[in-house]
Amino acid sequence: MIALASDHAGFEYKERLKKLLEELNLPYLDFGTLSKDSTDYPEWGHKASAAVSAGECDRGILVCGTGIGMSIVANKHKGIRAAACESVTAARLARQHNDANVLAVGERIAGWESVVDIVKVFLSTPFEGGRHGRRVEKIHSLTEK
């Protein structure tokens, strides 16, 4: 299950992502926003990230103007490793090396065709583990002390 959320600046891409996920036969939960009316990204980013943190969703995709604000919000949640990605390479490496479980993209930054490729790579790339596993473990263990 994919947690999906956006603010007003990412609303159009979120709606398009719903169709993409349906085409890929991937279930999702839409945590809002529900229109292009001005709204605050933390409200929506927290809802979707909480669902990933609680294990209700496996991964999340968040969309705002840049992807940066949503990634900051997501990373406030326990167990979340959110990456704001503007390229396929960043998305692939975020999965391979960081076991990122939330992707943030910016509707004002990346064209739709790029976002499609970024999302597909993010959802299909496995975590490499090994030395990267040790490093990912430190992300959470060192902050819990």
pLDDT by position in tens, the chain (length 145)? 999 999 999 999 999 999 999 999 999 999 999 999 999 999 999 999 999 999 999 999 999 999 999 999 999 999 999 999 999 999 999 999 999 999 999 999 999 999 999 999 999 999 977 788 788 888 777 666 5
**Helices 88-98 & 131-141 angle (0-180, nearest 10):** 80
pLDDT confidence of residue 145 = 53
Beta-bridge mates of residue 3: 29, 60
| Token digits of residue 88 | 């396929």
| Maximum CA extent, the chain | 45
What pLDDT does 136 receive? 81
CATH of the domain at 80: 3.40.1400.10
Number of domains within the chain: 1
Domain hosting 9: range is 2-141
Whether residue 132 lies in the annotated active site: no
Question: Between the CA atoms of 21, 27, 29 and 30, what dihedral angle is there, to the nearest 10 degrees?
Answer: 20
Three-class secondary structure of residue 29 per DSSP: strand
The pair phi, psi for residue 43, each rounded to 5°, is -55, -45
Among this protein's residues, is 64 annotated catalytic?
yes
Q: Which is catalytic among the residues 64, 77, 85, 140? A: 64
For helices 88-98 and 112-124, what crossing angle results, to 10°?
20
Residue 101: predicted pLDDT: 98
